[in-house]
Amino acid sequence: MQMNDMVIISVDDHAVEPPEAFIRHYPEGKKDQAPRIVHEDGKDIWQWNGARFPTIGLNAVVGRPRSEYGMEPTTFEQLRPGTYDPKLRVDDMNANGVLASLNFPTMPSFAGGVFVGMAQKDPAASLLAVQAWNDWHVKEWCAAAPGRFIPMCLVPAWDMAETLKELKRMSDLGVHAVSFSDNPSNIGLPSIHNEYWEPFWKACSDYKMVINCHIGTGARALHPSPESPIDAWITAMPISIANSAADWTFASFWKRYPDLRMALSEGGIGWVPYFLERADFTYDHHREWTFSDFAGERPSDVFKRHIISCFIDDQFGVKNLDYMNADMVAYECDYPHSDTVWPNVPEYLWASVNGLDPRIVDKITHENVMREYSFDAFGLNGGKANCTVGHLRELGKDVDVSPRHNLGGLKTDSMDAIGKARRPVTSGDIERMFASA
């Protein structure tokens, strides 16, 4: 196997909703209630139900020189068009050698937390927004290039009856993925151990929907202090999902739903071998007083069977797949966020997998995703020969991937001051940027 022979599917990318996304999918007579972009003080801002949401493209800095990375583009003109235009996204995927992509929301937050929060005062408004986002994502974004996007839905998680209706509606449209908080109790919903979720687990199992839990949707990486270098927070961000991973691993519902699957999106894999060792030690050493019961199995058995772990650039993790389950590991690109290695995904990935058994490479680059997400990538794209890095890059050979400088407006006064002083950016600097937004 050579690098150009790989087939790469990413289970973690992000779509930025274009200004008209919600409006087009609200019922007639209610379109004035849809989230929409307004222009304020030189910024593009989402306005919805009396509230402002300034994050149009959270950390969507793909294509910029790394020296111009930041946390918050403030206008659409600062974004690479592939962030919000599905046709141009496919061009960027071709240039990157990536066949297919699963995309998390931006305006609603990765698991629809914005809608969950609004539902506390206006559940009807939030329900309309969830349905409109799903219709835009499935009927516009994914439909723009069948076979290149893996559809995923949100659910009105505050209302189980409506959640079940939406899951059925999305299943009927061929959706096999749902975005869900890694710790719903942190966003005002029952914990995953509460009986409230029992119908949800059953529906996801019945419809063969993978539950995708992105980092930061429930258990967030904490800033150590306002004076801490922001590098510390960025470093710990993927591993922050380990706490939730333990919570899910020790949950009891897996026994009742052997076909249920979930993914730790953008969590990395290098920490997983120790995590599994620690979980098994905990069970062996403490179960006589904690009364945990894995019915003759161990926590690592449950994790390896039910939980998909995902990586961007993780050579240590790839070298230690024997301690995991190579059938439940997947690749992620993270376009358009600052951790993405676009347009050089094949080069980075090949550096990790070169030398592995080609059968293992195929599993972690695409076969596992095709199986678990019920996604017939080869059938939808006219055969495997049309899906390789080499073929896609030939299609994308004319795509301009040269760095594009920020058009101005990203850096706040505090960031400009940092640049002049040449001191490390701190957590406090970033928190002040968001506060000012």
Residue ranges of domains in the chain: 3-436
Q: Does the domain spanning 3-436 belong to CATH 3.30.500.10?
A: no
Distance of alpha carbon 175 from alpha carbon 103, whole angstroms: 13
For residue 24, what pLDDT is reported?
Answer: 97
- Looking at residue 414, its pLDDT comes to 39
Q: Catalogue the long-range contacts made by 193-199 (C-beta closer than 8 Å, 24 or more residues apart).
A: 193/247, 193/251, 193/252, 196/160, 197/253, 198/253, 199/160, 199/163, 199/164
pLDDT of residue 413: 40
Between the alpha carbon of residue 347 and those of residues 321, 333, 351, 363, 392, the distances in Å are 20, 12, 6, 18, 14
β partners of residue 44 = 39
Per-residue confidence (pLDDT) for residue 430, from 0 to 100: 82
The pLDDT of residue 417: 41
Cβ proximity of 264 and 245 under 8 Å: yes
Return per-residue pLDDT of the chain as tens, 437 residues: 999 999 999 999 999 999 999 999 999 999 999 999 999 888 899 999 999 987 777 788 999 988 888 766 788 998 999 999 999 999 999 999 999 999 999 999 999 999 999 999 999 999 999 999 999 999 999 999 999 999 999 999 999 999 999 999 999 999 999 999 999 999 999 999 999 999 999 999 999 999 999 999 998 888 999 999 999 999 999 999 999 999 999 999 999 999 999 999 999 999 999 999 999 999 999 999 999 999 999 999 999 999 999 999 999 999 999 999 999 999 999 999 999 999 999 999 999 999 999 999 999 999 999 999 999 999 999 999 999 999 999 999 999 999 988 755 444 443 444 444 568 889 898 888 777 65
Contacts of 323 (CB under 8 A, 6+ apart): 272, 273, 276, 277
Q: What is the pLDDT of residue 437?
A: 57
pLDDT of residue 420: 46
Q: Is the dihedral of CA 328, 393, 179, 111 positive or negative?
A: positive
Residue 129's pLDDT is 98
**pLDDT for the residue numbered 66:** 87
